[in-house]
Structure 1
């Protein structure tokens, strides 16, 4: 059976003090099983709350690269990407631009416990043209 999955997009939120790697770990496993490339992305805010951060994209690129270096899976083609803007829109846009076959992402929003899915995951599931694998956080 031919492999139909070439690119897996895994957005990570590096802003949470306790970063849950469940979705990342699942994306790594899926990429290995399907012999696919893994695109790990984060979305930087357009306006930083921390006024000491002058280059938001540069700052978050360093953080994302450090995250991937710390948890880099052996034998897997991994690329990183930092976008700015509304998280839910940028994930969908990036998946479409890059032709992602599947998005693997967290569902939890730590400030909103009563939703079935977090607002970001809900938007991505509704608007993405590819499959979305949602990992409960």
Structure 2
């Protein structure tokens, strides 16, 4: 019998362990993207993994009242995590700037993420099977990508 799974033969390797999960959230659409965050938290709880919750800010803010976007979006992300705690999970928050699809893949590569958990589509795009961001991430990420349907 396998030392960690009694249903596998002794010489069968275990599936890859998940130690680090990335969950990118778009705080502008968080009511629509909350499902992926919930799934990522539950996955981290089941697997004993650390969770990175990231948001990608635009290079140039359209809202002229936001002077320091790193601080603004960092504070918004912390408020979101405080309102939706990930009980029993170590959580790190990250704010990046740039093209969302590229920054997600770059962050996952830099940190050695095991799996990305993200929403399936931009809430404004209903005609696509996958949104452009999730499609790019699935195609270019070196790790597994778990896509949550809205």
Q: Tell me, yes or no, whether TM beats 0.5.
A: yes
Corresponding position of 1:41: 54
Contact 2:44/2:89 (<8 A) preserved: yes
Paired residues in the alignment total 137
Corresponding position of 1:78: 91
Q: How big is the shift at 1:16?
A: 2.0
Match of 2:31 among 9, 13, 18: 18
Query: If the length of structure 1 is used for normalisation, what is the TM-score?
Result: 0.96
Query: If the length of structure 2 is used for normalisation, what is the TM-score?
Result: 0.88
Q: How big is the shift at 1:17?
A: 6.6
The alignment's C-alpha RMSD in Å is 1.2
CA distance in 2, matches of 1:101, 1:75: 19
Structure with larger RCO (C-alpha < 8 A, sep 6+): 1
**Structure 2 counterparts to residues 1-137 of structure 1, below 5 A:** 1=4, 4-16=17-29, 18-137=31-150
CA distance in 2, matches of 1:85, 1:38: 21
CA distance in 2, matches of 1:34, 1:18: 26
- Helix, strand or coil for the counterpart of 2:104? helix
- Which of structures 1 and 2 has the bigger CA Rg? 2
CA distance in 1, matches of 2:125, 2:87: 35
- Helix, strand or coil for the counterpart of 2:42? helix
Q: How big is the shift at 1:73?
A: 1.7
Q: Structure 1 unaligned segments of length 5 or more: list them.
A: none
Q: CA offsets, 1:7-41, max 9 Å, x none?
A: 00000000127343100000001001110000000
